[in-house]
Amino acid sequence: MIIPLDLALLFFLVVIGIAALTVKDLLAAIVLLGAYSFVMATVWVQMHSPDVGFTEAAVGAGASTALMIAALSRLERWSSD
């Protein structure tokens, strides 16, 4: 049986999403969200929408992660849940 590429990527996406919500280190959670955005960009390029994939890789994974880490430098790093 051949597994479609985007089905494997979508399972990967679910795993990364759950991991980003469960880790207690907020820096790790933010970096996992960046990885989530990059996998999502790959899914969109695979779905024949490379423009959306480029924008997600630049804005969602790059700029958002930088903003979140900049904000986290003023906050506590560890979360209780």
20 binds other proteins (CB under 8 A): yes
42 binds other proteins (CB under 8 A): no
Query: Of 31, 40, 34, 32, nearest to 13 (Cα)?
Result: 40
Query: Of 50, 40, 70, 7, nearest to 32 (Cα)?
Result: 40
To the nearest whole angstrom, how small is the minimum distance from the Cβ of residue 58 to other proteins? 9
18 binds other proteins (CB under 8 A): yes
40 binds other proteins (CB under 8 A): yes
Question: Residue 25: beta bridge partners?
Answer: 78
8 binds other proteins (CB under 8 A): no
Amino acid, single-letter form, for residue 63: A
63 binds other proteins (CB under 8 A): yes
DSSP assignment string, 3-54:
PPHHHHHHHHHHHHHHHHHH-SBHHHHHHHHHHHHHHHHHHHHHTT-HHHHH
Residues near other proteins (CB under 8 A) are: 2, 4-7, 10-11, 13-14, 17-18, 20-21, 26, 29-30, 33, 36-37, 40, 43-44, 46-52, 55-56, 59-60, 63-64, 67-68, 71-72, 74-76, 79-81
